[in-house]
Structure 1
């Protein structure tokens, strides 16, 4: 049994999902956390901007969120964050 099948079996056993649905959920979660830092920063900036947040607050929040990612992103300065968004 490979690690992927063991994970699918675990999700099936703990959630009651059928194996195909468990595999799809695992793929979705893995894809979410596989998102590159630049893509995450741009997506979150746009999300927060949609809700009326200002750039200073957005960049401070992003700097707090990034280290908490499952695979922690490198520490980025506000200038680096701005360059990701605006080029």
Structure 2
């Protein structure tokens, strides 16, 4: 059922099925809903740093923040991603957004 990010299945048991089982036991989610939540979270953390920077820039800009505030906030958020990208300078962040 969980096809994303699965490299191998052990005896027919796909990786992350244990997480789906846990969510079904510990929340009111049904199996299909729990599976969608897990896949959504995995997709969120699969997002490359460049795509994350562009998406967050658009989101924060739509909230009315200025670029200086936006790039500072993104710079502080990046190390907390599941796989932290290298430390990016303000200039590198701007280049990711504007080319």
TM-score (norm 1): 0.91
* Distance across 2 between alignment mates of 1:13 and 1:3: 17
Indicate the SS of the match to 2:39. helix
Residue 60 in structure 1 maps to residue 85 in structure 2: no
1:26 paired residue number: 38
Name the one with the larger helix percent. Answer: 1
Note the 1:64-83 alignment, pairs <5 A. 64-83=76-95
Alignment match, 2:29? 17
| Aligned equivalent of 1:84 | 96
4+ residue segments displaced more than 2 Å: none
Q: Aligned-residue CA RMSD in angstroms?
A: 1.2
Unaligned stretches of 5+ residues in structure 2: 1-12
Partner of 1:50: 62
Aligned partners of 1:78 and 1:52: how far apart in 2?
Answer: 19
Q: Aligned pairs, how many?
A: 87
Unaligned 5+ segments in structure 1 are: none
